Amino acid sequence: MRLLTPRRVGLLILLAGAILFAGSTYWMNTRDYRPLDSEFSFAPGKAQYSFDVNMNGVYDFGFAIKDTVIGEERIRCLLSDCGDHKNIFHAHWKVTQRGRVIAEGNTDGGKEEDWYSFEHHSRTIASLPLARGSYVFEVELLSDASLLNQGEPRVFAMADWSTGKDVRERDTLLRTVASFLAAIGLAIVLLRGGKYKTNYWPASSPQPKTSGLAAPDRIRRFPGYGRRLEFTFGYLATIIFAVLVFIFMIMSPHSPTGVWIGILKRSELGTSSTYAPPVIVHVSVTVRRRAPTEMAALHLSSWDNSEIIEHFRINESTDLDEATLKTKLREILVTRADRTVYVVGDPDVPFQAAADAISNAKVSYASRVVLLTTRGNSPAKKH
């Protein structure tokens, strides 16, 4: 008697795929992308927060306050950009593991804004690579920033987007392999299970009556199932195709990558805030450049022509190369709650120039890019 028949092999492969799929799902559901999320006070003093990391990766440490109960000016103070007001948030921090200092620093250098929730504005003060284990985050407030407590502040440590992306890609790969194993095992089981043996009565055994007909030496016990069920290539291909549809249409994540891009008319932009004017990248060909195929110059300007970011006037704007544009955009967007960049191009510029401007905005912390029409209320041309 064979121990490993084809049907048993198929069952083992099917079982292995099911175990791998279930294990990957359980592992993903038990990962903690925000190991530290606790209430925080901006009053002077020291505080310690213990947390456990259960996956290797880069983690962002920072603070968050609600924007629904606190003014934008105070949020800017949290982000170390209070304009004419004195910065009130000064703190020293360190991360330790079993008494050993992993990293330490202060809040005077970091200004990067991070996403905590739709109701909060947050600020990241450090990004550290951490392995699985237990850690302690210590914060010492060096100044009194109690007025920020109105925003119900919280301290957090959460996995960087790249860490989450790597984990999701690994999980998708494991689930894909598991689904293929399950499909192969199921196909083997169905192919081998579709074969039925034709059984006969031996000639020496009592035979049923045949109503006067001559009794043969052997007759079929199961005449209705005495044939072999044949599975053609079409059946097998249908099974594999159904599994692929399940993988790529249902199981695999379909979160968008890149940056949101929309088309907006000029009249829909609205009145800009005097405190935070909109950021517009104006793509145009300078007068001194006559060759239409040359790369368009990039200008950074405000919408109402009254103020240019970094206090440049519109009539004094200078051409910016791509490296300078990225630097300018990062300096502006890093302290903004609304990181929307508007892109407008002159009619004579090549489309690739506008695409490059969008790409530069994407890598400069822009969360949303809006394409503006070039004149009046007419919609932008589709390319």
**pLDDT tens-digit series, residues 283-336:** 766 543 333 333 333 343 333 333 333 322 223 344 556 677 777 777 777 666
Query: In this structure, is residue 176 part of a structural domain?
Result: no
Query: In this structure, is residue 45 part of a structural domain?
Result: yes
Q: Which range has the top average pLDDT, 147-156, 311-320, 372-381?
A: 147-156
Total count of residues recorded for the chain: 383
188 touches 69 (CB < 8 A): no
328 touches 300 (CB < 8 A): yes
Query: In this structure, is residue 91 part of a structural domain?
Result: yes
Q: Residue 40: which of 160, 158, 148, 143 has the closest Cα?
A: 148
Give the confidence band of 87 by pLDDT, cuts at 50, 70, 90: low
For residue 104, what is the domain's CATH number?
A: 2.60.120.790
Residue 148 shares a structural domain with residue 266: no
Q: What is the pTM of this model?
A: 0.51
As a whole-number percent, the residues of the chain with pLDDT over 70 amount to 53
Q: Of 165, 195, 227, which residue constitutes the final position of a domain? A: 165
Q: Residue 105: which of 144, 55, 63, 140 has the closest Cα?
A: 140
**Which of these ranges, 122-126, 238-242, 281-285, 289-293, has the smallest mean pLDDT?**
289-293
Query: In this structure, is residue 177 part of a structural domain?
Result: no
Domain that holds residue 325: 260-372
**What domain count does the chain have?**
2
pLDDT digits (tens, 9 = 90+) for 16-46: 888 988 888 888 888 888 899 999 988 888 9
Residue 41 shares a structural domain with residue 153: yes
Query: In this structure, is residue 346 part of a structural domain?
Result: yes
pLDDT for residue 209: 52
pLDDT for residue 51: 93
State which H helix or E strand residue 173 sits in: helix 161-193
State which H helix or E strand residue 243 sits in: helix 233-245
161 touches 97 (CB < 8 A): no
- Which tops the pLDDT comparison, 78 or 327? 327
Residue 156 shares a structural domain with residue 266: no
Query: In this structure, is residue 21 part of a structural domain?
Result: no
Tell me the mean pLDDT in the region 57-73: 75
